[in-house]
Amino acid sequence: MEVQDAIKGRYSCRAYLDKPVARETISQILDTARCAPSSTNMQPWQVAVVQGETLKRMGEQMIAARQEGDKEKPDYDYYPYEWFEPYRSRRKATGLALYKALGIGKDQPDARMQAWCNNYLLFGAPVGVLVFLDGRLAEGSLADIGIFVQNLVLTARDQGLDSCIQASLGEYPDIVRELLGLEPEMTLFCGVALGYGDPEAAVNQFRTPRAAVEEFTRWYD
């Protein structure tokens, strides 16, 4: 697959087939993703691959925390405290389009809660790739981690797999660290759902638009 095809063809998959992914395939994806550049070759990424019973337990514990009203406690601030334009409008439009694709209206709070909790179950994906970095590193390492994650999802696309990068899996990092027996300094950057997308699922027909080059580029000659 051409790189441009992988980039333009990748989407955030939110419904997966009940089809396992071979461990060898996951390992090959990670072997390619590790070639990401990083400042001074620090390679700050650390990965935990969760499947089967571990994935199920992680999801159930996160769902229980949300339903019991436990406040999210991510390791870092992903979103701004106050939204402003153009980001506020883009966020709102994405949310409305997503719920429309799911067939959920504004007057269905229980269905909305269920849809959100589905994040913690990785939308039924058989594999979850949790990406960490040592919290003692500085913010610059977040850029390196982002490049690694991009390599990961594009390589997955090349292997015929679909994915969804999930900040939501970082909402309860203490649950994840305790379940996996990880050190407290292991900062949970994000999770990636990985598997074979269900082509018939309505939610997988949903796509987000992108701003034109002219909207985000300034030229200086």
Tell whether 182 is covered by a domain. yes
Tell whether 187 is covered by a domain. yes
pLDDT tens for each residue of the chain, 221 residues long:
888 999 999 999 999 999 999 999 999 999 999 999 999 999 999 999 999 999 999 999 999 999 999 999 999 999 999 999 999 999 999 988 888 888 888 888 888 888 888 999 999 999 999 999 999 999 999 999 999 999 999 999 999 999 999 999 999 999 999 999 999 999 999 999 999 999 999 999 989 999 999 999 999 99
Cα separation, 175 vs 44, whole angstroms: 22
Query: Whole-prediction pTM value?
Result: 0.93
Domain residue limits at 199:
3-208
- The pLDDT score that the predictor gives to residue 1 is 80
- The pLDDT score that the predictor gives to residue 99 is 87
Tell whether 111 is covered by a domain. yes
Q: What is the DSSP letter of 170?
A: G
Tell whether 218 is covered by a domain. no
Tell whether 213 is covered by a domain. no
Residue 189 belongs to domain with CATH number: 3.40.109.10
- The pLDDT score that the predictor gives to residue 138 is 93
Start-to-end Cα distance in the chain:
35
Question: Is the CB of residue 16 less than 8 Å from the CB of residue 131?
Answer: no
Specify the number of domains making up the chain: 1
Tell whether 96 is covered by a domain. yes
Question: Is the CB of residue 76 less than 8 Å from the CB of residue 188?
Answer: no
SS3 41: helix
Tell whether 221 is covered by a domain. no
Tell whether 65 is covered by a domain. yes
